[in-house]
Structure 1
Amino acid sequence: MIPPKPHVAAMDAYALADLTPPPGKPLISFCQNESFRPPSPRAAKAAASAALDQHLYPDPDWTALRNAIGKVHNIDPAQIICGNGSLDLIGCLARAYLGPGDAALAPAHAYPFFRTATLSAGARFDTAPERELTADADALISAVMFDTRIIFVANPGNPTGTRIPRSELIGLRQALADDVMLVIDEAYGEFADHLNEPVFDMVALDNTVVLRSFSKAYGLAGARVGWGLFPPAITGNVRKLLNPNNVSAASQVAAIAALEDQTYMRETCAMTAGIRDRFCAQIAGLGLTALQSFTNFALIRFASPEAAQSADSHLRSEGVFLRPQGGAGLPDCLRATIGVADDMALAASLLKDWINKEGRS
């Protein structure tokens, strides 16, 4: 039997959500950060119309999609790369710019796939402390080593839901050497766009990449469409590693149609924020801590890892699945994707029952 590369053998598998409900209980999943609302009807219609063209390969250059993204965000389509989800682009960046003897850096409780992508390239993954579960630019600057090549910052963050302002990202970039790439992952960016702090202009510095996704605010998680704005010098190297037909034809036209219905997307973000904030208020009323979130999920902090595990077991016994966060260094936390209002009320009610039963929070 041929052995794997040592650095691959040493890796832990990426943790997938457990979605197996107990016997007799319907699954209510708050695990995946999917939109509770289907995509725009325009997107669904566009995807259906592409069914008759499945014998043809998709456009490997994503021409129409890049033009549509550029129009919405007022950015240069020539600098846009599309991926099979933003994970596709994160993985390609790691393979293109990291290897043995290199390191990537991220906040302590960063999106776990940053670690997976880094280790799969044979590089070291370092972390910097956070400030109140929020990325800390000063701590990241202090943690840069001689071999640091990429800094990953999700903003807003996953699993915390917190964010740092544009000014701190600019300060971080200015403090870094030119040969250190800053990757700003804005998979949840649409939920914070109302703050009017875009960072696409930072890509002009030639060592910064900004990523986004259609999976969250646009409700197209199943279509697997991510994209990013890249400096020209980086674009060519990343594209060498992409599958040339990475985004299906149906997904491309669905994403274009979703972009053309900005009203629907903004309604989704507003509806999500309303349900999220009501849920967080309910959680606070129970004596639990729910972080302020700029995403479609809420992070709930318990008194101890044991309390979080106990609450999780109680919820799961009723078919309600939140996502434990031990893999992100937060064993005392559960992350709840925002679902329909009735389901969120059920989750809050079950947590109240758990507190009454256990006598703790």
Structure 2
Amino acid sequence: MIKPVPHVAALGAYALADLGGAKTISMAQNESAFPASPAAIAAGRAAMTELPCYPDPEWRELRTEIAEIHKLEPDMILCGAGSMELIGCLIRAYAGPGDRVLGTDYGYAFVVSASAQVQADYVKAREVDLTVSVGDILDAVTSDTRIVFVCNPGNPTGTLITNAAIISLRKALPADVILVVDQAYAEFSDVENDPAEVFALVDRGDTVVMRTLSKAYGMAGARVGWGYFPPAIAAEVRKLLNPNNISIAAQAAAAAAMRDQDHMRDVVARTAAIRDRFADDCRAMGLSVPQSHTNFVLLRFASDEQAQRADQALRVENLLMRGMGGYGLSDCLRATICTPEIMDRARDVLKGVMT
């Protein structure tokens, strides 16, 4: 039998959400409750006539639109097949055996897998009240630390720290440690945290900011993410990216989505209104729900057993939330915000469990 290299053989496959059966309504993957911009859909369809050709490996149109919206330098933007590709390539470029990648208690789980793929040690810094703690991150840094990942807003917690906290963290970290600020849900918090303040850290040469079109732009199926990189780091990461990583149709749709900021802001506002009403209803039942700055809420039950009962009751009604046992939060379910009708159904099921 042909054997893989030992560290790959020891890996487990990255665990995606349980999607249930054909009739199941998924509330588990933090997909958008609303469709992508009509302009994005039209642009993607129109681009299908170009399928005989390879996609633009420099993502020129898409980078131009991103740079225009966020007032950034286009040449410092890298695009990936979701932010996952960019995260994986960054870790491959800057970490290896004996190095440490530092995250937080409830940071993005894919970073754990990407670190294991290069035989780097993944270490978690404590979060306080389900929120990133700058002090605890700094306490966990050692001479072997190469990269620090901070999700802001957090997933699966939905919590947010200020730009001032991010800036203070960067100033206190050693200059040879890369800080990665994963902002997959930032469009839901940009009104609270001016994005320009965090993007400005990239000019230091030691900070990367990641974003995606999977959430607020409703384009998870297109697999389009992007990051703002210092030129020296971008050059190394670029070597590892698939040179034709985003399809012609996805690039065209993503560029059109970036141009339609009104649609994105409308989706964010509608999602937040549904989210806050659902969260208030859950708190009224006695559930603990941290203030969310994303398109999901974390529901904390009185016990692991109660969370399991809620999960089973939801499944009976063909509703599927995400269990959080893999994050050490087995007393929690994470609920993606869906349409009001679906959220009302979920609320009624939970009310039955709680009573």
TM-score of Structure 1 vs Structure 2, range by shorter chain: over 0.9
Deviation (angstroms), 1:259: 0.8
Residue 254 of structure 1 corresponds to which residue in structure 2? 253
**Partner of 1:3 in structure 2?**
3
Q: Which residue, 132, 136, 141 being the options, matches 1:139? A: 136
**Cα displacement (A) at 1:146:** 1.5
Structure 1 residues 222-243: Cα deviation after superposition (integer angstroms, max 9, x where no partner): 0000000000110110000000
Match of 1:183? 180
SS state at 1:330 partner: coil
- Structure 1 stretches of 4+ moved >6 Å: none
The one-letter code sitting in structure 2 at the alignment partner of 1:243 is: N
- Equivalents in 2 of 1:330, 1:13: separation in Å? 21
Equivalent residue runs for 1:1-361 within 5 Å: 1-21=1-21, 26-198=23-195, 199-356=198-355
1:256 & 1:32 partners in 2: Cα distance?
Answer: 24
The AA in structure 2 aligned to 1:214 is L
Contact 2:20 2:320 in 1 (8 A): no
Query: d(CA) in 2 for partners of 1:175 and 1:36?
Result: 39
SS of match in other structure, 2:239:
helix
For residues 160 and 330 of structure 1, the distance between their equivalents in structure 2, rounded to whole angstroms, comes to 10
When normalised by structure 1's length, the TM-score is 0.96
Contact (CA 8 Å) 1:304, 1:332: kept in 2 or not? yes
Deviation at 1:26, TM superposition (A): 2.8
User: How far is 1:12 from its partner?
Assistant: 2.3
Q: Mind listing any 5+ residue stretches in structure 1 that lack a counterpart?
A: 357-361
SS at match of 1:331: coil
Moved more, 133-142 or 302-311: 302-311
Moved more, 188-197 or 291-300: 188-197
**CA–CA distance in 2 between the matches of 1:346 and 1:308?**
17
Q: Are the equivalent residues in 2 in contact too, given 1:109–1:330 (CA < 8 A)?
A: no
Contact persistence 2:275–2:296 (CA under 8 A): yes
With structure 2 as the length reference, what TM-score do the two structures score? 0.98
AA paired with 2:18? D
Aligned length: 353
- The secondary structure found in structure 2 opposite 1:194 is coil
**Percent of aligned positions with the same letter in both sequences?**
53
Structure 2 unaligned regions, length at least 5: none
Q: Cα 1:139–1:186, aligned 2, differ >3 Å: closer, same or farther?
A: same
Q: Distance in 1 between matches of 2:148 and 2:313?
A: 38
Counterparts of 1:116 and 1:243 in 2: how far apart (Å)? 19
CA RMSD of aligned residues (A): 1.0
Partner SS for 1:209? strand
Aligned-partner Cα distance in 1 for 2:318–2:147: 40
- Offset, 1:5: 2.3
Query: Structure 2 counterpart of 1:305, which letter?
Result: D
